[in-house]
């Protein structure tokens, strides 16, 4: 079979750079190192139990990360791969990761650059042992360029300031979805030559959908606007939406984001009353913001429910936040419901004495 005729990631980045004649090429160098990290993680994930890393809990350290979650071996391996593949590129002032409490200082033996790399090395890792698609999420910000150590405050930038963002999804095919602020491009890894090939150019998310994703087991904790939105979807043709909806929940946000990027939809992990001490399940800097940049660059929307995600000013590195993203008309509708507080009516299926789903 001939090697595909597609443009490689490298060729794409070179052509993109030509749009900025003064560009130093540092961002391209960093993106290519991130792509190598994703290829290495793809290979480690694909080996699964063959290397004993199928879903095993990490042995190193206390294996409870700063999130209070049990780390899988592959969380630790993926984190190390991101560090090792990117710390030498000479383009980074520092890094931050879901799996590390503090920012990572680039060793003094390596040249430091002007970018900050923030990442979730393995998203959806609770799915590793059941062989469901997982992924890596990354966000690139401008950092200090005087070679000093980075501090948490350097990372407290809104999502709107991201220079680039993207994710890799390790599924039946490994793909890299990337935006450098000029639309969203999708690259498919050709395992025959180990290259990411441009297969999805200028992706656009359909503005409407009939598919929503939410963890319905949390329905008793949802706030009224979310209950209203989901209930209207559940009422289908007979309800105010006048059409039937489909529901998905993969518990791997990268997989949900990819489905939405490919065919539209809406994902909700809203702030709820389950644990009033935390503002949501997902993290702002390395999950919500990069996904928000991807979604908005592809013509979709991303919101906390109240506010556009990209406007949120972070207060701390591992800050959690309610996250809603996808087809713009659905996200706009959910934001509208947040502006129109309602009191739930007792005949709504969600509040009926019977279960969430009418028996």
**# of chain residues touching ligand AHG (CB under 6 A):** 13
Residue 178 C-beta: closest distance to Mn ion, Å:
18
The answer to whether 335 contacts Mn ion (rule: CB under 5 A) is no
Closer CB to ligand AHG, residue 111 or residue 263? 263
Nearest to 252 by CA among 99, 137, 127: 127
- Closest C-alpha among 197, 160, 205 to residue 176: 197
Among 16, 33, 87, 120, binds Mn ion (CB under 5 A): 120
Q: Which is nearer to ligand AHG, 69 or 348 (CB)?
A: 69
**Cβ proximity to ligand AHG, 103 vs 124, nearer residue:** 124
Instruction: Compute CA 73 distance to the chain's CA centroid, rounded to the nearest angstrom.
Output: 20
Q: How far apart (Å, rounded) are the C-alpha atoms in residues 84 and 71?
A: 19
Strand order in the sheet with 115-123: 104-105, 92-97, 115-123, 134-142, 164-170, 174-179, 185-190, 195-200
Q: Does 125 bind ligand AHG (CB under 6 A)?
A: yes
**Residue 184 contacts residue 198 (beta carbons within 8 Å):** no
Q: What CA–CA distance (Å, rounded) separates 212 from 144?
A: 40
Shortest CB 108 distance to ligand AHG, Å: 30
- Alpha carbons 350 and 359: distance in angstroms, whole number: 12
Least distance between Mn ion and beta carbon 86 (Å): 17
The reply on whether position 326 binds ligand AHG by CB under 6 A is: no
x-or-dash string of contact with ligand AHG, 209-248, rule CB under 6 A: ------x---------------------------------
Nearer to Mn ion, 225 or 290 (CB): 290
Cβ neighbours of 206 (radius 10 Å): 16
Give whichever of 28 and 79 is closer to Mn ion, judged by the CB atom: 79
Please say whether the beta carbons of 35 and 43 come within 8 A.
Answer: no
Binding residues for Mn ion, rule: CB under 5 A, are 98, 120, 122-123
Binding residues for ligand AHG, rule: CB under 6 A, are 69, 98, 120, 123-126, 215, 251-253, 269, 281
């Amino acid at each position: 079979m001939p090697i595909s005729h597609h443009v490689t990631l490298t060729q794409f980045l070179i052509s993109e750079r030509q749009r900025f004649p003064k560009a130093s090429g540092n961002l391209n160098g960093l993106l290519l190192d991130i792509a190598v990290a994703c290829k290495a993680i793809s290979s480690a994930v694909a080996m699964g139990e063959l290397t004993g890393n199928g879903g095993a809990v990490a042995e190193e350290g206390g294996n409870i990360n700063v999130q209070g979650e049990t780390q899988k071996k592959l969380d630790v391996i993926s984190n190390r791969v991101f560090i090792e593949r990117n710390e030498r590129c000479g383009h980074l002032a520092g890094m931050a990761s879901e799996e590390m409490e503090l920012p990572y200082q680039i060793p003094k033996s390596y040249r430091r650059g002007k970018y900050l790399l923030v990442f979730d090395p393995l998203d959806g890792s609770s799915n590793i042992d059941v062989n469901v698609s997982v992924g890596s999420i990354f966000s690139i910000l401008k950092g200090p360029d005087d070679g000093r150590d980075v501090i948490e405050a350097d990372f407290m930038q809104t999502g709107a300031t991201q220079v680039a963002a993207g994710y890799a999804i390790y599924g039946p095919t490994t793909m890299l979805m990337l935006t450098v602020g000029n639309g969203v491009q999708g690259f498919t890894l050709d395992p025959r030559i180990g290259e990411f090939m441009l297969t999805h150019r200028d992706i656009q998310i359909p503005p409407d959908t009939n598919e929503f994703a939410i963890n319905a087991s949390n329905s008793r904790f949802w706030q009224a606007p979310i209950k209203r939105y989901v209930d209207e979807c559940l009422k289908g043709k007979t309800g105010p939406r006048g059409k039937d909806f489909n529901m998905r929940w993969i518990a791997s946000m990268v997989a949900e984001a990819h489905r939405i990027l490919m065919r539209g939809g809406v994902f909700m992990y809203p702030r709820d009353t389950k644990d009033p001490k935390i503002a949501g399940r997902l993290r702002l800097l390395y999950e919500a913001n990069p996904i928000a940049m991807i979604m908005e660059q592809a013509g979709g929307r991303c919101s906390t429910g109240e506010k556009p995600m990209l406007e949120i000013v972070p207060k701390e590195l591992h800050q959690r936040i309610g996250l809603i993203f996808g087809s713009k008309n659905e996200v706009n509708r959910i934001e509208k419901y947040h502006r129109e507080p309602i009191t739930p009516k007792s005949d709504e299926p969600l509040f009926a004495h019977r279960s969430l789903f009418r028996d």
